[in-house]
Chains A and B, each alone.
Chain A
Amino acid sequence: MTAAEGVALLGVRHHGPGSARAVRAALDRLEPRIVLVEGPPEADAVLGLAADPGMRPPVALLAHVVDEPSRAGFWPFAEFSPEWAAIRWAAGHGVAVRFIDLPAAHSLLLRDERDAPRGPQVRREGEGEGEEGDGAEEEAGAADARIDPLAVLARTAGHDDPERWWEDAVEHRGRDGEGEADPLAAFGALAEAMGVLRETYGDGGHRGDAVREAHMRLRIREARRAHERVAVVCGAWHVPALARTGGVTADRALLKGLPKAKVEVTWVPWTHRRLSRAGGYGAGIDSPGWYRHLFTSPDRPVARWMTKVAGLLREEDLPVSSAHVIEAVRLADTLAGLRGRPLPGLGETTDAVRAVMCDGSDVPLALIRDRLVVGDVLGEVPEGAPAVPLARDLAREQRRLRMKPEAPEREMDLDLRKDTDAARSRLLHRLRMLGIGWGRPGRSRTATTGTFRESWRLRWEPELAVAVAEAGVWGTTVESAAGARAEDAAVHARALAEVTGLAEQCLLAGLPDALPTVMRVLADRAALDPDVAHLAQALPALVRSLRYGDVRGTDAGALREVAEGLAERVCVGLPPACAGLDADGAAEMRGHVAQVQQALVLLGDDALRDRWAGVLRKLAVRDRGIPGLLRGSAARLLLDDARLEPGEVARLMGLALSHGTPPQEAAAWVEGFLAGGGMLLVHDERLLALVDGWLSAVPAAAFDDVLPLLRRTFGGFDAGARRTVGELVRRGPGGGGAGGAAGEGLPGFAPRLDEERAEAALSTVRLLLGPGGADGGGDA
């Protein structure tokens, strides 16, 4: 394990409580003069902050290319990371610490050349132990060529689960490590095993390792020259390579001519969720909360863990007693014995909790997993840490789009057909997504709010700088951060409508990368939502987004698919949902039906519209259980769409208003049918004739009962419409003034055409209709 005299190589797993403990013990024993840690050397400048009392892990080193913040890498550290333990140990003992990995100035560019990844990369636990597994490699499918040293070791030891093997062999042993005679023995054994592996597999397909290891070797050599005792904390995989001595010239040659960029490094707060695999930026560990517990609990970790679990379950009002805790601990111990493990691991404790505390159910386990196994820990970074790249990216965008952050409020009208304005709109929408309320959408001063106009009120408050810093955890550029935030919001959204809103915002903000996630959540939510009303509510926003999508040139194919699926579900679920509603429920449902109708017209899918018409017909024709308001409304929608013959409508109306129908029901039908005011009766003689015909046919005896209902409906019309309808009815059916007194035309119109005034309008009408249709317009 000792490469040269005075150099101790401590091979670790990047996030492992046992490794961290062992590193601490080993450093206590070795008392090195300098500690070298695998990490970007640019971060040496901010390493001092690690000792700052304001620094609380989990935190991450963030390195990014100055001109291009989207080229960035995160190096997360948790309390239980061996590297962190080493850094803190050095700070506590006044010993120097240096990062020795290949500078980020090269590595960020190298990654890009190889795989052209999207967005920042995270050092993760990867399949390869000690592998600086940049996610890009995995995404690019290059992983095939790589071996997983841990899995090989585990297989050799006869275990099928590498993770579990590592825990048993290394992490759990670390617990007793403090009492052991030689805290270095474990590192020696591990280094030996890795040595054999590397002899067999070479670099194991881990591309780029040769360069990095060359750099590390050189730095170790340098440190050795200056200091008497050197300790190196690095991924176990690298140990054999770093132990090699000599070959300095070859190493130097390898490092020649690497591409180089200007890089800045800072600390950013990190969370446990982002350490876990569940998060998009996961560092590849399953159970940060469990590891932290193992690392921080002074003794009896299983008993303490069970007590924590019991506490959490009690908070959720599940009856868990101390007896449960005792039994759970016993069961976990027995299970570990049965499975031949030295100590109960997370698997055993989880099984025990499920059987003893949760009645065999997985539901409370999900809570435990979320709150304890992963955990809600949020790191903190001291004030002095350099600015996050997001702020810089924002400043650059503001310059590019000539939008100065100013304190006084000002309005800004954007014409989305212009590229600059569209970009400005996207920026403002993205900032809103990130909770940076620089711009608020305002009422457009140009009253015609077409889809290509937007109006904003801009006001830069000093607090917004804080909001920008906070938003820094989401990403390094405004675009990537807003996308990440949108995905997160979609996953955690409570209501279906919330997700639809997000989809709309994603289109407005130009975040096509976030759309697939949002769409997936949306489709899932829609499939599971039993309430047709929710589905109907969600549909209009979706269809609106589709139309926006057209204006803004975003691809909305996925959106259309989801919208159509949603419409399908509404079609299936609507009739049962309409049955047995009370007056208020019916009124609400009528609103939904109208919205769906509008949305489907916009959507313009003929097959869907046919289906929808079928559903409406079902509503209109069925008379048991469906409230009159909805039946009337459905009949009206069908009639407007020319999908119902006037004769059929007359029949339905006659049925609905006949003596056998209770008065309230009949009134509701009329209300539903005549919704939207009386002007329709004025303009559509067919409708008027229907109502009139029915009214005349009402038998005298029933008229008294019907009168109040009609009074209620027609009372809702405005006075003008009411009068006009009255006059039309007085004139009698047939219109055209045939039977009316001389000098009376349509109510509200003069008897004859006023040629002079018509002439004035004619040219405009001609313009509107185009050259072909203008001639007919005159006598309309």
Chain B
Amino acid sequence: MSVDTALRPHAEDAFAHELKALAAADDRPRPARWNLSPWAVATYLLGGELPDGTVVTPKYVGPRRIVEVVVSTLATDRALLLLGVPGTAKTWVSEHLAAAVSGDSTLLVQGTAGTPEEAVRYGWNYARLLTGGPSREALVPSPVMRAMAEGRIARVEELTRIPADVQDGLITILSEKTLPIPELGTETQAVRGFNVIATANDRDRGVNELSSALRRRFNTVVLPLPATVEEEVDIVSRRVRQLGRSLELPAAPEGADEIRRVVTVFRELRGGVTADGRTKVKSPSGTLSTAEAISVVTNGLALAAHFGDGVLRAGDIAAGILGAVVRDPAADRVVWQEYLETVVREREGWKDFYRACREVAP
């Protein structure tokens, strides 16, 4: 499918011109079968301007250090595990990494509770298997197996959702770099350039915790939440605008203050300290990710549009915030009340918000 008609083109297609310009400008040594040098991969992710004037857009907005560790990990042929709460661009980073390193981000295994072993190793074309017996032709390789054969990067999404026995199928692949096929008495050996990028949700660790044997094969990088209020407000308002358009909500430019307020509350509770850094507060049990802030604001916009005067006000977001913060009815409620009484009440210009929150308080 071409770039124009696809609903969502692959990274290597959408940014093909950037990759091409980078490859042309890149004179540093490249690891075997890498399309770019590690330095160029880092530049691709972080953005910059090339000598020939091509502007590389930043794909990842965050600490440079993280991108450098991520790229170096792939260069040392260690598998990479990206951890983070939902909405921290794990999948996004892994897709672009695969696109930049191997020019192909499609070798993907989506991890679910039902992911079978075939998705990691290989399956069989049963029609052929029955007619011709086990043979190379009857074998259906998994994306991981294909990546091994071609020396490319395979991606595993939501690794911790995959059942433990299937996860452990990766151990041989990652340590021996080979995949035995006992039925044929052969094996597929990984070609240089092969590697695995896995993503997992921080809060999901308990679902199917990685065995220590598997964990040892990975370098782990935690993708952080946005570092500054400005960054996060920017992300939230941009995303809210997009969502608002698709939900056909009226645009609410006056809502910017409320967005800042939601982001501030989320950041303060998440970080356990007020924005001015002077008072510590307890953190609730929920993640309070940027994604949740977006949904609180969108929800508030819908309230304002359908039941209010179209302007986003404190009252429209209070209930949403309460719902996002108080996940555990006992402990989180105390956390929220303490926050209200010790931080919000005293804050200049937050009177309306305080009152709105008191109104919906349980």
Is the CB–CB distance between A331 and B215 below 8 Å? no
**Residues A334 and B65 in contact in the complex (CB < 8 Å), given A527-B279, A573-B338:** no
Is the CB–CB distance between B83 and A335 below 8 Å? no
Residues of A within 8 A of B38 (CB): 334, 337-338
Is the CB–CB distance between B65 and A351 below 8 Å? yes
Give A357-392 as 1s and 0s: 1 = Cβ < 8 Å from B's Cβ atoms. 011110000000000000000000000000000000
In the assembled complex, A524 has its CB within 8 A of some CB on chain B = yes
Measured CA separation A363–B337 after assembly (Å): 29
Identify B73's interface contact among A355, A565, A568, CB under 8 A.
Answer: A355
Residues of A within 8 A of B272 (CB): 528
In the assembled complex, A598 has its CB within 8 A of some CB on chain B = no
In the assembled complex, B275 has its CB within 8 A of some CB on chain A = no
The stretch that binds A, out of B115-123, B191-199, B219-227, B299-307, is B219-227
Report A575 CB to chain B, min CB distance, Å.
9
**Residues A524 and B76 in contact in the complex (CB < 8 Å), given A355-B219, A360-B220:** no
In the assembled complex, A321 has its CB within 8 A of some CB on chain B = yes
Report A524 CB to chain B, min CB distance, Å.
5
Is the CB–CB distance between A569 and B338 below 8 Å? yes
In the assembled complex, B69 has its CB within 8 A of some CB on chain A = yes
Is the CB–CB distance between A324 and B216 below 8 Å? yes
For residues 523 through 543 of chain A, which have their beta carbon under 8 Å from a beta carbon of chain B? 523-524, 527-528, 530
Measured CA separation A327–B220 after assembly (Å): 12
Is the CB–CB distance between B212 and A319 below 8 Å? yes
Identify B220's interface contact among A355, A528, A565, CB under 8 A.
Answer: A355
In the assembled complex, B39 has its CB within 8 A of some CB on chain A = yes
In the assembled complex, B33 has its CB within 8 A of some CB on chain A = no
Q: Nearest B residue to A321 by beta-carbon distance?
A: B216
Residues of B within 8 A of A338 (CB): 38-39, 42, 68, 71-72, 75
Identify B69's interface contact among A337, A355, A527, A568, CB under 8 A.
Answer: A355
Q: How many chain B residues touch the partner (CB < 8 A)?
A: 34
Identify B215's interface contact among A351, A359, A523, A530, CB under 8 A.
Answer: A359
Residues of A within 8 A of B331 (CB): 530
In the assembled complex, A323 has its CB within 8 A of some CB on chain B = yes
Give B70-82 as 1s and 0s: 1 = Cβ < 8 Å from A's Cβ atoms. 0111011010010
Report B325 CB to chain A, min CB distance, Å.
15
In the assembled complex, B342 has its CB within 8 A of some CB on chain A = yes
Identify A528's interface contact among B83, B215, B280, B341, CB under 8 A.
Answer: B280
Is the CB–CB distance between A576 and B330 below 8 Å? yes
Q: Nearest A residue to B42 by beta-carbon distance?
A: A338
Is the CB–CB distance between B282 and A351 below 8 Å? no
For residues 315 through 358 of chain A, which have their beta carbon under 8 Å from a beta carbon of chain B? 319, 321, 323-324, 327, 330-331, 334-335, 337-339, 347, 351-352, 354-356, 358
Is the CB–CB distance between A327 and B219 below 8 Å? yes
**Residues A527 and B73 in contact in the complex (CB < 8 Å), given A359-B220, A572-B337, A573-B338:** no
Give B235-271 as 1s and 0s: 1 = Cβ < 8 Å from A's Cβ atoms. 0000000000000000000000000000000000000
Is the CB–CB distance between A323 and B341 below 8 Å? no
Identify B78's interface contact among A331, A361, A523, A569, CB under 8 A.
Answer: A331
For residues 312 through 362 of chain B, which have their beta carbon under 8 Å from a beta carbon of chain A? 330-331, 333-334, 337-338, 341-342
Identify A351's interface contact among B68, B212, B334, CB under 8 A.
Answer: B68
Is the CB–CB distance between B342 and A351 below 8 Å? no
In the assembled complex, B281 has its CB within 8 A of some CB on chain A = yes
Q: Nearest B residue to A323 by beta-carbon distance?
A: B216
Q: Nearest A residue to B215 by beta-carbon distance?
A: A359
Measured CA separation A524–B280 after assembly (Å): 5
Is the CB–CB distance between A572 and B341 below 8 Å? yes
Q: Told that A323-B216, A573-B338 touch, could you supply 9 new A-B pairs with CB distance under 8 A?
A: A324-B216, A331-B76, A334-B75, A334-B76, A338-B42, A338-B75, A360-B81, A568-B341, A569-B342
Chain B residues close to A by CB (< 8 Å): 38-39, 42, 65, 68-69, 71-73, 75-76, 78, 81, 83, 212, 215-216, 219-222, 272, 279-282, 330-331, 333-334, 337-338, 341-342
